[in-house]
Structure 1
């Protein structure tokens, strides 16, 4: 998929589907899941910049910290399994002119060696820096000292998850706290159990006697990856006229439709 008409179609799809983007690279979808009888998947990337760009494609491994940040690792944590051992992908390096797109194909292999549960790795797209020659005068200026040249290399990754056999998850919401300073902030803990990750959406509703219910917060795409059992999450709530955070209650609902996992918790403000 490397010509202008298809690129325009690609951008149209981006406007409707879930994507992730950094710099001049767009990637769709932003998560890949092999489930059931799935044997192959496709990931589409597009260069929206004004210069030709080259990207190296590889797998990297992450663990999720309790605050939701990712930490790169080389060996799996206890209870964690890497998906990259069972995946083939091509191409592994692409050069895209402005407004060009490319399909990356993923294929599942060696499934007979897999046991029941969930495997995860992250497909990483790294911009390859253009090599430039140093000017002679620059070398002369640096004869008597050390020159440090720091350049930013853009990269973006998406999780690739493989599920084998029977997998399921349950979630609970605990330790709800509200801080009202310049703007209201809600904090809570998400507890996950089972052998499957969750990836769901939050809806926060304010309730008070004699008043209509008001949705004061929505956050989509919040995950807790295996083997983590807990994630701490903080997000701002909307400030709505006639809402008094010293009375009434806040209802928080989290739902992962695909995992069929949901949870609701209430914080009394009285």
Structure 2
């Protein structure tokens, strides 16, 4: 039996006149919020919701992921984690670790942090994985009319999952970000709007991107949940867009990177670029 895991990123992209992609959804599972930041003063809650028509079971665990310069997240084997990453895994506490949800039934996962005394200042991060547990496949009786070894049968069972970052901040931390050059390029999946993003400081940056044409108030493109984590000083952001929008994005634009709206939406950086 062959199984595969299918994950969805936490990035929402809004195109002019379009509907936002539900970035916190995978299969029949919804997760909110899509990011947790803890400072040790109190815990928080993550809510799961089964939007399917059948009961479903989900397993919750922690894993380490590192950002790449291309903006992806590589899963790191337990044997290869750094002491700081191991500390993040040890500090995060959550319950329950396995839930079975009837259709349209929410479930609260309580998340807390225990910061040992003397922990060096810094940002520590692990990723919480919510993975569907498939039902046991029923046994299939052999066909007596077919000789043994006549062929191979493979069943594909989709195993859906979502990961969200759980960030612990210790001490007085700060960071800044700078928008680099921007361009429209082709990918195997179609055109994309690309730009560089550089980070300085001792914590991650996270926020929303808005691209506008000078003199026009209506944005051409809005992207939610753009992050640069501390393990990289710079990354490339690549946002897939329809061909007609890719053509409109070329030329002079203003790119604004702002804080998450939940913490005020202040400007992190703003730049005028000529997109080629």
TM-score range, shorter chain: 0.7 to 0.9
* Selected match of 1:109 from 110, 114, 124: 114
Secondary structure of the residue aligned to 1:84 is helix
* 1:12 equivalent in structure 2: none
Secondary structure of the residue aligned to 1:147 is coil
Secondary structure of the residue aligned to 1:83 is helix
Partner Cα distance (2:258, 2:112) in 1: 30
Question: Per-residue displacement from partner, 1:203-244 (whole Å, max 9, x unpaired)?
Answer: 22222xxx656532221211111211111113348968xx79
Give yes or no for the alignment of 1:54 onto 2:60. Answer: no
CA RMSD after TM alignment:
3.2
C-alpha contact (below 8 Å) 2:182/2:274 kept by paired residues = no
* 1:69 equivalent in structure 2: 72
Partner Cα distance (1:172, 1:189) in 2: 8
Partner Cα distance (2:23, 2:238) in 1: 23
Aligned residues: 243
C-alpha contact (below 8 Å) 1:250/1:269 kept by paired residues = yes
Alignment CA distance shift 1:106-1:137 (3 Å): same
* 1:131 equivalent in structure 2: 136
C-alpha contact (below 8 Å) 1:81/1:120 kept by paired residues = no
Partner Cα distance (1:140, 1:124) in 2: 45
Secondary structure of the residue aligned to 1:215 is coil
C-alpha contact (below 8 Å) 2:254/2:271 kept by paired residues = yes
C-alpha contact (below 8 Å) 2:175/2:205 kept by paired residues = yes
Q: Which runs of 5+ in 2 are unaligned?
A: 1-21
* 2:199 equivalent in structure 1: 192
The alignment's TM-score, normalised by the length of structure 2, stands at: 0.76
* 1:155 equivalent in structure 2: 161
Partner Cα distance (1:136, 1:104) in 2: 40
Give yes or no for the alignment of 1:28 onto 2:35. Answer: no
Secondary structure of the residue aligned to 2:90 is helix
Q: Which runs of 5+ in 1 are unaligned?
A: 1-17
Larger Rg: 1
Secondary structure of the residue aligned to 1:67 is coil
C-alpha contact (below 8 Å) 2:127/2:164 kept by paired residues = yes
Tell which has more relative contact order, 1 or 2 (C-alpha 8 A, sep 6+).
2
Q: CA deviation at 1:19?
A: 7.0
Partner Cα distance (2:136, 2:212) in 1: 54
Partner Cα distance (2:181, 2:197) in 1: 9
C-alpha contact (below 8 Å) 1:54/1:94 kept by paired residues = yes
* Selected match of 1:165 from 171, 175, 187: 171
The alignment's TM-score, normalised by the length of structure 1, stands at: 0.77
Secondary structure of the residue aligned to 1:136 is coil
Alignment CA distance shift 1:88-1:142 (3 Å): farther
